[in-house]
Structures are given as structure tokens and as C-alpha cells.
Structure 1
Amino acid sequence: MGTVALAVTDGMLHFELSVAYEVFGAAPAAVAVPWYDVAVCGPHAVRVGRFLLEPDHGLDRLRRADTVIVPGWADVDEDPPADLVDAVRTAHEAGARVASLCTGAFVLAAAGLLDGQRATTHWAHTGALAARYPGVEVDPDVLYVDNGSVLTSAGKAAAMDLCLHLVRLDHGSSVANAVARRLVVPPHRAGGQAQFVAAPVPAGDDHPLAALLPWAIERLEHPLTVEDLARRARMSSRNLGRHFKAATGTTPLQWLLTQRIRRAQELLETTDASVDAVAAATGMGTATTLRRHFNRTVGVPPDTYRRTFRSQPRLRSPCE
């Protein structure tokens, strides 16, 4: 997958930098795919939180990278370092994919990569980003934005979501899920999900949805309804909807659809099951229904998706 350059500068936020290094630094066990060559790039030793970090490479290596990750830094009131901005711009002009984590979006904006583009950053800084760079369409309500060669994420946990999204684009869902399992994080949260909700994920065994979500995921082949979920959770449909919105940022039906699509991706990548069989195994009913929802959500038809990620090892079809 080529070089992933992690751009570092003084005042860098260590959490986002660590997230990127953890995701791209090592392939998950038993995954036989080419992995990334990670390079930590900076002009000199930099202060990261309370630590002094000596980069492995200078900014010249960043300019030649295939993917550039720009973590956030603490002092967004200051203009980002000019040498870093220039290196990021040069890398993108040379064909690199550039992604920012949290307030790293200010570097991309300063480089002109977000002009006329939709972008996001940590919700606490979206106003500042929009005010300083009026040419950027700042969306404060999403986890990450994928514009193809330029991607931006909100803060903290959303940085992990974007990094896993990049792995998913490069290697497919099964490999991204393996990385998520190694890091003990949820394998997928859609970029359009709200970044600021009362409880992003169910917390603890006593959460009202703690038992319901795994139960539903194990039964995706069944035509589950909101009433089915509410009955299982022993609450009204309206109360269930409120808990879902608070815990996942979406509705029960949209959450179910997302799980069905992700399951379909895994089956398309790792089995020879027909599209009809995948539709049945994911509760979509018919291949027509699966194709409609899959194309709208993923952006390509199931057959095209399978051809793209067919290098994954084959598992048994759910119909065998």
C-alpha cells in the first residue's frame, strides 16, 4: 500500500498521532496482505504533549508519500507551520491521498486542499475553521468526510474511524475488522454519523441496548422490525428510538441497514455466495433490494465490490 507519512509538528496531539501509528503501523495477525510502510516525518525534534519526539524522516519523505496523515495540534489559534503546510500541499500535488485527524484540518485548509470542499474537525473548533477559511464548507455534525484524495475527521474516537475507513478502502471490510478487533474498537461507524451525541456507544452491561445490539447482529438474516427490537428490549418503539438516537446517533432501522450492508460486504469479500444468497443471509430478501441499498450506501454494485476485494481468502458460503 506504499508509504503512510505521519506529519508531526510542535504541539501535536499525542492521541491522534498514536491512533494513526497503531492502525497503520502493523498488520493484524493472520492477514496475508501487503501492509503499509509508516514514516514519522517532521522538520526536527518536536514536542508531543509532554514528550519530545524525534521523527524518523524529514519532510522530504512526506512529500513523496502515498498517503499523508496530519494529526491535530493544540494551538489552533496560531497559523500552522509554513514548512509543514508546503510539504502537505506538495505531496497532494504529487498524487498523495491526504487525511487530517481532528484539528489537522487547519493544515489542509491552509494548504488550500479544502477550498470549495466539505470538511470537518472537532466540533469545538468547527466555528474557528469556518471563520478562518470561509472557502471551506465546514460540517460540524459528522465523524469524517471523504472527498476522495482529501479526507478530514472530527476529534479523538473519530480519528480512529477515519483510519479504519482508509484501511477498509485499501483492503476491504474483513481486514479493517481484523484491525478493529486487535485494537478492541467498533469495526465501523459511518462517516455521516453525528460526532456529538449523548453516548456515542452503549456503555456498560446495564445500558438499555447492551444486550439488544449483539442479539440483532446475530439475527440479520431475519426481517427484523422496530417492533421486534422494541419487544426484545421490553420497551415501546418510541422509547427504543430515543435510546438508539442517544447511543448510535441514528434510528433503529438505519442502524439495522448499516449492519446488513457491512455483513454483505464481508460475505462478498470472503465467500462465493451468489448475490441472491447474500441478500437472504443479510435479511435483504431479494438481490434487487440488496443491490439498491448497497449501491446507494457503498457507491458501487455488489458485483463490482466483490471484484475489487476478491483477493481475500475464501470462506464457506452461508448456504453451504
Structure 2
Amino acid sequence: MAEVNVQTYPVKQADEQVISPWREAWRTLRKNKLALVGMGIICFFVIVAIFAPFIAPYPYDVGDLKMKNQPPSEQHLLGTDYNGRDVLSRVIYGARISLWVGTFSVIGSVVAGTILGLLAGYYGRWVDTLISRIFDIMLAFPSILLAIAIVAILGPSLQNALLAIAIVNIPTFGRLVRSRVLSLKEEEFVMAARAIGMKDSRILLQHILPNSMAPIIVTGTLGIATAIIEAAALGFLGLGAQAPEPEWGKMLSDSRQYIQKAPWTVIFPGLSIMLTVLGFNLIGDGLRDALDPRMKN
């Protein structure tokens, strides 16, 4: 009986592995030089804020009136202010306040806006009408004026300024999430989840919310820059951080009358605000390019 030779051929494995969307977005972000510059700026200010007690050469709230409005020197690299306090130390500690207010106000806005947007977009009808009308009323006022009104009612303080900034930015995230939910809830995977009897809470948390994270992250990153500017504006008006807290906007307000005699007391806090806002804007633009499929070739 003749033997039959059975020849086997090795199966060629695919060289390319499946790449998750988030990993692909990270690869795209790393190729964006401006986004990397923004990340470098923000990392610098974050490190400065974390290690402020070790970096600052002097206490931020202690000054020498004999050394007031002194120009930059070896003893005081960025000069001193009208109370003889070291400007460099106050700028370093001011990074803590600005980043804290900007980050946590946006987190509060994102959480509240996302919840309201999910409810409005998914359930519709009177729920959507009620929430949308509240958003419309809030958006009818300029954000800074609404924040001023809220702080004026609650009282001037850094915590109330943070709360006011979080409240005025809720409609931005709420309307964004609502629009995403309106488009996603008609998708086949959501209809299939309903057909098998999945609860609404699981559909929202496991299917709709994960698919809405990309625009939320982009808008949130850009929102931190806006929140820092709003916090500086409230501090400049005397409604945010109170003396002797070294908030950058408050520093600008306190030193504006010395702008000709001691311009360094205004230049360095203003430059810090500009660089921080620039960093977040560059990162936000990079994230938009990386996470938005329409921006990819």
C-alpha cells in the first residue's frame, strides 16, 4: 500500500497587532511637537507646585519693608514687591493655587455636566427640556459675570471662586455630552443592549459614556486654561484668593499701581499665567488632533 505524504504549510501570523484607539492616539500625540512643548510647560509648573517648599528661597508671606520694590538681583532673582516679599517665592507658590483651582473646578464641571448631559440626552422629553432650559439660562450670561455674581453672594474666597468657576462651566460639558448621547443612543450596539434587557444605568456607564470620553477629555483640557484665566480675573477683582495668598491674579491686582516703578511685580505673575494657559491650550489642540478621527489622514 502506497504511503501518502501529507505536506503541511506553516500558517503565517499577522505581523501587525491590533492597536487600541487610546494607544494610537498617544502615538499621534507624541508626533505633535507643539503638544509636547505644552506638556513640558505643564510638567514644569506641576513640579514647581509640588516642590514649592523646597524650591522657594523665601517664605511667600514674609517680607522686609526695607527691601520693598527692589529690582531683580542675586539675593532676589525676580525682585521684591511693595511689602518686600520675594516675587519668585510668591510666583512659585502661586502655581499651586492656579493649578489647584483650574484642575478641580474643571473636574467638578465635568462630573456635573456629564451626569446632566447623560440624563438629558438619553431620556429626552421633559427631562431634556428642563435641563436644556437651565443650560440656556446659564449661557445667557457671560461666564465671568455669572461667576462674579455667585462669589458676591457666597462671599470672596478662593474656595467660593473655585465653586463659581465650576458652576459656570457646567453647561459647556452638559451640552457636549448631550449631543454625543443623542447620536450614540441610536447606534446598533445600544439598541442591541436594550433588546437583551440591559438596564439604562449599565447602558449609560458601559456603552455610551466610554464612547463620549474623547471630546470630554479635549474640552476638559482646554477648560483648565479657561478656568485659570477666570480664577485670575476673580483674584484681580478681589473676589478670589485673599491676602496673603500668592494667587497670580491677586498679585497683579496688588501690584498694578507700581507698574511703572516696579514692573517686575506685574511681569512675572502675568508671564506665569500666559505660559500655563498656553501649555494647556497646546495640549488640548494636540489631543483634539489625536482623538478626533476627522483630523487623521
With the length of structure 2 as denominator, give the TM-score of the two structures: 0.23
Name the larger-Rg structure.
Answer: 2
Structure with the bigger RCO (C-alpha within 8 Å, sep 6+) is: 2
TM-score by length of 1: 0.22
Higher helix residue share? 2
Structure with more strand by fraction = 1
